[in-house]
Amino acid sequence: MREAFTRAREFCTRKPTAVVVALLLLAPALTWPARGVTEVANCPLAGKRPPDGFLTQESRPSLCKADLTGANLRGANLPGANLGEADLREANLRGANLPNADLSRANLRGADLRGANLPGANLGEADLRDAKLHGANLPNADLRSANLANANLTATNLRTAKGLTCDQIRAAQTDGSTHLPVTLKCAK
């Protein structure tokens, strides 16, 4: 054992740069939990559809990465006020029906809302960074102070959206198929 320690000390003395590089490369593996471990703990419904009655239960885990494809979430009781402050990051809400939903302050970062129906939804202060809203319907939706950085708004109906600003539009992905309010004149 003493001989191994002596050899290691000699190596470190002769090649200190190599030791530092090796430790830097090994540090993440030694200190960070595996991706799957944290994902299960933080997103227990990742890739799964919540069971029937889940949205009406008193306590429930986060809905991050959950599969809510085509779900009817009218009047659903999620954390916060209605859907407010809900953790729906990276959730699949493709084609979901969310009329008059309160998603204020909700974490929808990276969520898939393609083709979702959100008439009258409150998305005030919601985090929609990197969200996929292609073809979503948002008539009379409130987008006041929503973070739309890199959100895909192509073919999205925002004609009567409230609180929408040019800064939000410039931060998002839009094209000629994005239906903006007539009164909003934004140059990209």
Q: What is the pLDDT of residue 131?
A: 98
**21 has pLDDT over 60:** no
Residues 27 and 58 reside in one and the same domain: no
Distance, in Å, from the CA atom of 43 to the CA atom of 36, rounded to the nearest integer, reads 10
Domain enclosing residue 136, as ranges? 34-188
| 78 and 158 part of one domain | yes
Q: To the nearest whole percent, how much of the chain has pLDDT over 70?
A: 67
Same domain, 122 and 148: yes
Domain with residue 110: its CATH number is 2.160.20
Q: How far apart are CA 136 and CA 113, in angstroms?
A: 7
19 shares its domain with 39: no
Asked whether the predicted pLDDT for residue 122 surpasses 70, the reply is yes
pLDDT tens digit sequence for 56-110: 666 556 889 999 999 988 755 554 444 556 899 999 999 999 998 888 889 999 9
pLDDT surpasses 90 at 120: yes
The total of structural domains in the chain comes to: 2
Note the maximum CA span of the chain. Answer: 80
pLDDT, mean of residues 134-141: 96
Considering the domain architecture, whether residues 8 and 87 belong to the same structural domain is answered as no
- pLDDT of 11: 61
pLDDT of residue 12: 56
Same domain, 21 and 69: no
Residue 112 banded pLDDT, cuts 50, 70, 90: very high
9 and 39 together in one domain:
no
- Tell me, yes or no, whether 65 and 26 share the same domain: no
| 3-class secondary structure, 27 | helix
Q: How many residues does the chain have?
A: 188
Q: How far apart are CA 51 and CA 48, in angstroms?
A: 9
Q: Are residues 21 and 51 in the same domain?
A: no
For residue 29, is pLDDT > 50? Answer: no
Percentages helix, strand, coil for the chain (3-state, rounded to 5) are 25, 10, 65
Q: What are phi and psi of 25, to 5 degrees?
A: -70, -35
* Shared-domain flag, residues 42 and 82: yes
